Every structure is written in structure tokens, then in C-alpha cells.
Chain A
Amino acid sequence: DQQVKQNSPSLSVQEGRISILNCDYTNSMFDYFLWYKKYPAEGPTFLISISSIKDKNEDGRFTVFLNKSAKHLSLHIVPSQPGDSAVYFCAASTVTGNQFYFGTGTSLTVIP
């Protein structure tokens, strides 16, 4: 049972425009969420996180939005750069949990 879903396997965006990556979850007990970026032949690299007490967290060009009622989070990248081209995973965890549940990833391509 996939508790975290990323329904868009791929996304292409022009350089300088906004990239929006979406993630849905089913478990209402999830209270901590992460976005990871993964380049080929490398492990996932932490990008940004958000806890359920917030609805927005910003770090430079990256902003994560959390809509708890809709069980939805999104990652906004503004402006998008070619170096952002990678696979992005969202992951979720519970306050008592010891594991992260990952989505299947969205492959972002930023076109120069």
C-alpha cells in the first residue's frame, strides 16, 4: 500500500520558470515531510523539510507547501535552473515512527 504518492513521473520546465512538484499522502498520522533530490549514481540528498505545525517552509529558491486537510504537499522551485534537473522524492514520517515512506519520484528536466 503506497502511503506517499507522486503521480507525475516526469516534468519539463524552461529555465527561469517555476517548477511545481506534487506529492499526496494517505496517512493522517504523518507529521514530518521531506523532499530529496537524487542525481544518477548518487544517493538522495536532503533538500527541504516541513513539519505539520507549519504550512510553508522556504529555503532560497525552494519552498515547500503543506495542505494537511488535503493531505498534499508541493515543492516550488523558483527560478528553475538546469542544475535542478534530477529525480525528486517526497518522504513522510510519523512522530513515533522510525522510517520514512517515500513516493516513487518525479524526474524534473529544466530546459536551458
Chain B
Amino acid sequence: ETGVTQSPTHLIKTRGQQVTLRCSSQSGHNTVSWYQQALGQGPQFIFQYYREEENGRGNFPPRFSGLQFPNYSSELNVNALELDDSALYLCASSNNRGQDYTFGSGTRLTVV
């Protein structure tokens, strides 16, 4: 059974650019959630995808968008990057709410 994998592991982008982060969910999971973890903070919920549809969104602007594919993998897209977008982006997959909620190792995004 494979776990949750995220790519890339590290990324440096310039302010104003766009970025796409990728997540492969754990086998048997159909729900993917994305979190942003700024330095010294706990993870903050960005949004969740279930059956290729957005299923809830946190307090993030529309320039944060996502996709889920038929194989349940997911992408997080951020447009018009700002310096404050520098953070660890975590993806978590799950089957039932809160059960087997499994995180990937994250993508460290640095915006300069």
C-alpha cells in the first residue's frame, strides 16, 4: 500500500509567478485535502476535493485553486504568488472523514 506522495519536495518561485503542486493519494482513498503550514504555525485548511469536486474551502483567496483527477490525485495551483505564500504545503488523503487521514511529506515553497 503506497502512502501519500507530493511533488516537488522543494520549489523556489518569484513573486507574481504561478505554481502547481501535485499530490498522489493513498491507495483506496478518494478524498484529498490541502493545507498550508507557515513557519511556526499549525496547518491551515485550504480546500478539499471529493470525487473531483471541491468539497469545502478555508479562508484562502481565489488565486488558490485545485483539481482532482479520476485517479483521485490532485493539484494545487497558486497564481500571482506573494511573499507570504512561502510555506510548507501539505496534502492529506482519506477515505472516511478523519479515518486514516494520511499526510504527505509536503512541498516547501519559497517565494522570493
Q: Which chain A residues in 55-99 approach chain B with CB under 8 Å?
A: 89, 91, 93, 97-99
Q: Considering the chains assembled together, what is the distance between the CA atoms of A102 and B62 in angstroms? A: 22
**Interface residue range, chain B:** 20 to 34
Task: Determine whether the beta carbon of B98 is less than 8 Å from that of A44.
Answer: no
B90 interface contact, C-beta 8 A? yes
A interface footprint on B38-55 (CB within 8 Å = 1, 0 otherwise): 001111110010100001
- Contact in complex: B101, A34 (CB < 8 Å): yes
Q: What is the count of residue pairs linking A and B with beta-carbon distances less than 8 angstroms?
A: 58
- Given that A43-B106, A46-B102 are contacting pairs, would A98 and B44 also be in contact in the complex, using a CB cutoff of 8 Å? no
How far apart are the CA atoms of A101 and B56 in the complex, in Å? 13
Check B43 against A44 for contact (C-beta < 8 Å).
yes
User: Chain B contacts of A6 at CB under 8 A?
Assistant: 42
Q: Which chain A residues have a beta carbon within 8 Å of chain B's beta carbons?
A: 4, 6, 32, 34, 36, 41-46, 49, 89, 91, 93, 97-105
Chain A contacts for B105, CB-based, 8 A: 41-43
The answer on a CB contact under 8 Å between A98 and B102 is no
